[in-house]
Amino acid sequence: MEKIKIILLLIIFPLFVFSQENTIQGTITNIIGEPIPGVTILLEGTQTGSSSDFDGNYTINTQNKTEGVLAFSYVGFTTVKISFVKDSKTINAVLEESTEELDEIVITALGIKRDKKSLSYSTQSVDSDDMKEARSTNFLNALAGKAAGVQVVSSSTPTGSTRVIIRGLTSITGNNQPLYIVDGIPLDSSPGDGGVSVWNGGDDIDFGSPISTLNPDDIDSIQVLKGANASALYGSRASNGVIIITTKKAEKSKGKIRVNLNSNFSVISNREYPYYQYVYGAGDNARLTPNVSKLDPETGLPLVGAFRRAYGMPFLGQQVLDYNGEVGTYKPNVNNVKELYKVGTVATNTLSFSRATEKNTFRFSYSSTLGDHVIDRTERVNRNNVAVRFSQEISDKLKVNTSLIYVNQRVDNRMYRNGSERNPANNYMYILPNMSQNNLFPYKDEDNNAFNYEGPFNNPYWNIYENTNQDITNRIVANVTLNYQILDGLSLKTRINGVINDVDRFEFNNMGAAYDPNGLYREIAVKRENRNYEAILNYTKKINNISIVSLLGANRFDLRTSGTRKTAISLLERNIMNLSNGDEFSPTVYLPNNKTINSVFGSVSAGFNDTYFIDITGRNDWSSTLPSNNNSYFYPSIGGTTIFTKFLPINNILTFGKVRASFAQVGNDTSFDRIINNYIEGGNYNNTQWLALQNQRKNLELKPELTSSTEFGIETKLFNNRITLDATYYRSSTNNQIVPVQVTPTSGFISKIINAGEIQNKGLELFLSAKILTNQFKWDTSINWSKNESLVVSLADGVDRLLLRNFFNVGVYAEAGETFGNIRGNAQAKDPVSGTPLVLPNGRVRWDEDQYLGNAQADWIGSLRNTFSYKGFNLNFLIDVKMGGELFSATMIKAVNHGIHAESLQGREEYLLSSLILGENNDERQGVGLFGNNYADAERAKGVIYRGAALGVQDEDGNWVAERDEDGNIVYSQRWLNPQLYGFDGIQDQGRFVYDASYVKLREIVFGYTFPPRMIKKLKGVKNLKLSVVGRDLWTIYRNTPQGIDPEAGTTSGNGQGIEFGSFLPTRTLGVNLKIVF
């Protein structure tokens, strides 16, 4: 019994003693009141320590000391020391960001973590937090303005593709977008899902890209590897740069479950409308009744429905026979365009659970996105994202990491693009000023055919309610990685990952439309899988002043695509969406797209005295889509860095400085259908499908496009790291361009694929950032600026140009010796000697074909980002800038041609006076014939005149030149034109409708407030709460395109940029974001 008492006393006494020891608790925040997790708290003079939890709270045992000092330290912050006495119970600490040099760890190729100061090439981080508040349905849109040298062109639809170009175009006919790596998994960025354009259906529907459906709330970091020098270890897939995305894992929580909720609700509305005119209505030649056929035989009233242009009378309340066959009033409807549109909405909610211990981490998130667009029933998206990430330390040597992303998305009624007759927004280019929404209902007649007025006008409401399309996507992105520590400094990483895309689509156009009375039904099914197998042996070692980071690895990439496209091009019955309702079919398309790349690679990085660094990498790829005798290629890189501030005295001005230089080669292979001649659908005879050989000859001798790149850079930090400057000059050359060239038809082909030509890119990138820290106030500002020149050095022998895109007789070309992307078309002819514009003897424009109209490439791009923080408030805004580049607008040609745009008002009032009131004919409007050759008001305006244009005549060689008088002076035109003819001239004088595509935009803005703990302590379980008002694309500060034409509208997912037709009106997004941590 006594022994038991002694044992109990020995157990209880230490507990009693411990219970008498003092403890101190508190909260650790930054200068604006945000909690800082993971801060180390150390009781000086002892080994006793603690750390703050996710909410910044801590508790530490002071070991009954009567006085002492607590040291609070955290990476990136200045260490704070606070004294305490015996009675101290609560000590709160505020940490300020450090201005001392810190090692910045970044993720580079193959997921390797490197100290940024040792890198010999340019790379830039993007703050993923920016994407979680002022968010977009397509998260790639939020990359705009975030990195120097990266041009991001957003789709005008919420779910469409986003074009991302890094350091210019490297391929004439191939893909120019970067490779995306998500947790080590290559993810496709090609438009239309998987890059198989044949699946995109009929009239250019943009089905988006797989990468665009990622949930920003699941993204932890984004690293942009610019150009070949940074991405050479990825070989033949990395000639356009690489964007590395790492998803979130659980944060330190001492085993506690953390719950995060991020909720965003936004409204989408049109930012502006076209500048249409509402002075004149339907009619021709300033008349409502140009001939008897335009009069109703019973009432004698003008038939406004008989006109397709608005070159009629001024609105004076005249009686007319309206579109519904009833007597109405000839009057304007100034809101007729706005009536088509509404306010769209997008709601995104993400809920995540995470838990972390010393041995394992787990994070699960679910996100729901529901939205629609500004036209009824269009772009309805229902997206569900699930992300799971788990890690386990199995032993001291073996760790496993897994991640899984699942996306289920359904989109109803994606918008047709580029002037499609099925695009309701495009149909509104034909809505005359006297028309209203009431005139368009009912949108079909008693025979259930579309109601249309004269000409091939398509009622927009027919397209909205009678045509539909739908696509359902199921996507799985999975990864398993094993890390085994073989020896100290030697480890083996193996990973298996892959992506599975299953996409089912249908497209239905009901019978009875003006443009396609027979209807259409199409079904498309695509399955695309890629698998990636990789093993990497890593070795790191530091011997005295020498540090070594090296790796050796192998990779196998498999891509398998299969699918079918079945189309009924004529239907039997209305309203039945099924292939069994087809009356006539186009051949079923079966097109596999398979590819395998086997690779070995290695790299060595060495540092000397923490001052000199050298990088050497090499990769060899064997690609199945290249001929067997040309499928092996080696891609090397070498670079060096010197930290020159190591040789300078320590000072408070130049804190850090380094110079770097590198050289690299990477490739860009091709698809299998460029080396093998295939059969394609030839047609259908008697319901029997027949095949035909493709008219383009393939090439079994193809080589990959090869990019050689050199870059030089300097990085500096000034005034104790408060100012950072990073400048890079680069020059790259891409040879062996894979291009089509014409061949003689007697060969059985019209073109063949060859390796020929070279594109050269050179440019300058600048990144400048500064920060101001005062008591409770913080200001961060940064500027990105870049200038790139893409030059087509050469094409194939005998080939001067390649057509990239053609529309409305305007083409975008790659021309030898010229900047990539020249725009050519018709333009007003000029006298070859004086350069004076020419008109025909009747006063109308004289045009020449194949004239240079401009170039789509920007002169430079840039951005300005500011972040202000004060106490719990924060204000962020981003201004995005593009200067230079031209845009051809076929929309404007149509709008002026139809007399609905305000530009068509020029000279109408004068012509009305001359033609209808004074009764002058065309000769009299030239100033002759009424009261002699020079009557009193010869200078009176009587319509439209091409001022400064000379009368054109043909010389003896048939060339058009300016007419000259006996003294050799140019004879200028005095003929006043009917404004309607001037509008018609725009069809041929396309140069009139080429605009400077520069812009300055307020791309995003966030104003938020983080509630302090004292304000949310009554909300049970809530640890952190932030509420923000957010906006995207709220204001175009500067631009030169007409109102309603976005300067970015002339872009497509392909390489032929600079042509706009039927683009969607610019929109803005305004919303609220609520972030809660439990």
- Rg over CA atoms, the chain: 34
Q: Decide if pLDDT at 384 tops 90.
A: yes
Indicate the average pLDDT of the chain: 86
- Which band of pLDDT confidence, cut at 50, 70 and 90, is reported for residue 106? confident
Highest averaged pLDDT of the listed ranges 186-190, 264-268, 283-287, 303-307? 264-268
Distances (CA, A) of 238 to 121, 455, 561: 15, 50, 21
pLDDT at residue number 593: 78
- Which band of pLDDT confidence, cut at 50, 70 and 90, is reported for residue 700? confident
Number of neighbouring beta carbons within 10 Å of residue 651:
9
Q: Decide if pLDDT at 111 tops 80.
A: no
pLDDT at residue number 826: 95
Q: Which of 369, 172, 391, 142 is nearest to 243 (CA)?
A: 142
- Which band of pLDDT confidence, cut at 50, 70 and 90, is reported for residue 451? confident
pLDDT at residue number 772: 87
pLDDT at residue number 453: 62
Which residue did the predictor score with more confidence, 685 or 227?
Answer: 227
Name 474's Cβ contacts closer than 8 Å, sequence gap at least 6.
406, 407, 408, 500, 501, 502, 503
What are 58's two structure tokens?
């801590």
Secondary structure of residue 213 in the 3-state scheme: helix
Name 843's Cβ contacts closer than 8 Å, sequence gap at least 6.
926, 945, 946, 973, 975, 976, 977
* CA 85 to chain CA mean position, Å: 58
What letter represents residue 21's amino acid?
A: E
Q: Decide if pLDDT at 258 tops 70.
A: yes
Question: Using CA atoms, how far apart are residues 505 and 755, in angstroms rounded to an integer?
Answer: 36
918: left (phi over 0), alpha (psi -120 to 50) or beta: alpha
pLDDT per position as a tens digit, 625-678 = 887 787 888 999 999 999 999 998 888 789 899 999 999 998 877 776 677 777
pLDDT per position as a tens digit, 984-1004 = 998 889 999 999 999 999 999
Percentage of the residues of the chain whose pLDDT score is greater than 90: 50
Q: How deeply is 691 buried, as exposed, middle or buried, from its count of CB atoms within 10 A (0-12, 13-18, 19+)? A: exposed
Of 433-437, 685-689, 777-781, which gets the smallest average pLDDT? 685-689
Q: Decide if pLDDT at 680 tops 70.
A: no
Question: Using CA atoms, how far apart are residues 251 and 260, in angstroms rounded to an integer?
Answer: 12
- Which band of pLDDT confidence, cut at 50, 70 and 90, is reported for residue 739? confident
Average pLDDT over residues 489-496: 94
Q: Verify cis geometry, omega within 30 degrees of 0, for the bond prior to 841.
A: no
- Which band of pLDDT confidence, cut at 50, 70 and 90, is reported for residue 59? confident
Which residue did the predictor score with more confidence, 240 or 46?
Answer: 240
Residue-range domains of the chain with CATH: 2-95 (2.60.40.10), 105-245 (2.170.130.10), 895-931+940-983 (no CATH)
pLDDT at residue number 687: 62
- Which band of pLDDT confidence, cut at 50, 70 and 90, is reported for residue 17? very low
Q: Is 528 in contact with 572 (CB distance < 8 Å)?
A: no
Question: Using CA atoms, how far apart are residues 714 and 580, in angstroms rounded to an integer?
Answer: 66
Question: Using CA atoms, how far apart are residues 112 and 639, in angstroms rounded to an integer?
Answer: 17
pLDDT at residue number 11: 39
What letter represents residue 970's amino acid?
A: I
What are 562's two structure tokens?
């299969």
Which residue did the predictor score with more confidence, 116 or 856?
Answer: 856
Q: Is 711 in contact with 662 (CB distance < 8 Å)?
A: yes
Q: Which helix (H) or strand (E) holds 980?
A: helix 979-985
Question: Using CA atoms, how far apart are residues 895 and 948, in angstroms rounded to an integer?
Answer: 25
Of 363-367, 395-399, 588-592, which gets the smallest average pLDDT? 588-592
Residue with tokens 């009176």: 940
pTM over 0.85: yes
Question: Using CA atoms, how far apart are residues 257 and 714, in angstroms rounded to an integer?
Answer: 45
- Which band of pLDDT confidence, cut at 50, 70 and 90, is reported for residue 292? low
pLDDT per position as a tens digit, 387-433 = 999 999 999 899 999 999 999 999 999 988 777 888 888 887 778 99
